[in-house]
Structure 1
Amino acid sequence: MFKDGYVKVNDVNLHYVTKGEGELMLFLHGFPYFWYTWHHQLKEFSKDYRVVAVDM
């Protein structure tokens, strides 16, 4: 369903999930949540956009 990966930013590995194609739509959550907070929105918007949710 979602493709996950890691990106290194300032010596910190951040986890992210992505799905879809097209223009980028980025989802950022607040404390104390994680990427799954956005799972319904990711499913819907991935029909038209490349969605990425980052674990902060």
Structure 2
Amino acid sequence: MGDKLLFIRDVAERLGRIEAQISWMIHKGTAPKSAMIAGRRMFRESDVEAFIEAAFAEAS
């Protein structure tokens, strides 16, 4: 079995943002990797965690 799938609201909560900001990040290409599945935007939990880790790596 693969990663847990997250909705935009889940990602927004993890990143401390509102859903509209995540949507804007998707539009700009700066959001964690995602895909449309059954008509809904989904994120793999590992991609969101990698996004967070990369942000900390850049800050060092």
Q: Same fold (TM over 0.5)?
A: no
Higher fraction of helix: 2
Q: Normalised by the shorter chain, which TM-score bucket?
A: 0.3 to 0.5
- What TM-score do the two structures reach when normalised by structure 1? 0.34
Select the structure that is richer in strand: 1
- RCO greater where, 1 or 2, for CA within 8 Å and sep 6 or more? 1
TM-score, normalised to structure 2, is: 0.33
